[in-house]
Amino acid sequence: MPGLDVTPLVPAGRKVIQAYGNGRFRVAGDVFETSILIWPDLCLAWDARTVADVDADALHLAVAGADAPEPTAEILVIGCGAVFVAPPKGLRQDLRARGIAVEWMDTGAACRTFNVLLGEERRAAAAILAVD
């Protein structure tokens, strides 16, 4: 009996997170050996390694992009590592003040959530820390 295909149904060309672990991600066939910033149609290496590296300015750029006057994503999913740890004090408030809705969770949950949001064709972005 063939196995069940559990790949999420998303429009062609979307950056589906296919795998994570061992310090890397596989996104739409491409391998990133770092943390990632990801949008529906783009994935970039991100030099953040720990929650201490996550700040509102970097995340604002992740959602809005360097040249956008306002956020291009309606939700930002943040993967904080292998296990859930609380976000840095004031981070949610800082991002909310910039018009960014934040979902903070462990890296595995962030990968799954981002893929679900892709399938729903939501305007989402994610900043996800790599895990071993």
Put simply, whether the predicted model's pTM sits higher than 0.85 gets the answer yes
- Domain ranges across the chain: 17-128
For 18-58, write each residue's pLDDT tens digit: 999 999 999 999 999 999 999 999 999 999 999 999 988 77
Name residues whose C-beta falls within 8 Å of residue 33's C-beta, 6 or more positions apart in sequence. 23, 24, 45, 130
Mean pLDDT of the residues in the chain: 86
For 5-22, write each residue's pLDDT tens digit: 556 677 788 999 999 999
Q: What's the CATH number of domain 17-128, 3.40.710.10, 3.40.640.10, 1.10.1040.10, 3.40.1230.10? A: 3.40.1230.10
Q: Count the Cβ atoms, other than its own, within 10 Å of residue 19.
A: 11
